[in-house]
Structure 1
C-alpha cells in the first residue's frame, strides 16, 4: 500500500509499505526514498509518536494515510 509522508516544510512524497511492517521498516523505506537515516526520523500519525517496534497496522495506518516526518536535528555549533 502507499502512504503519504509529509515534512514540516510541507514537502510530500509517497512510500510503499505493508500493514505488517514495523515502524522501523517504514523508516528504512523512507531512507530508500529520501536518504534520511532512520535514526534522524521521528514519525507521527494523528499526533501520536510512532514507536519503532510497533507495526504500521497497529496505528490504523491505511492506504493513502498521511504520516508526519520530523527530522531529529543533531546539536550544532554556531560561530
Structure 2
C-alpha cells in the first residue's frame, strides 16, 4: 500500500509543489501494517513518477479544456521533479 502527501509551499499561489510517498507492507493475515515507512529508492522513483505523470496529465486536461491557468502555476508545475521532498 502506498500513501501520498502533496503540498504547496505557498498554497494560495499554488507554488512550491512538494510531495512525499510512504508505504506499508502487507502482513501474513492480509492486512497492512499501520507503520508507514519511506520506500526504497527504486520504489520511491516509481511512485514519484506516478505523481508527476498524473500532475502533467491534469495540467494538460485543464489547458485542453480552455481553462485559464496562472503563468506562475505553469512555471512551478514544470519544475515538479526538481521540488520533490524526500
Structure with more strand by fraction: 1
Give the TM-score, by structure 2 length.
Answer: 0.27
The structure number with the bigger radius of gyration is 2
Structure with more helix by fraction: 2
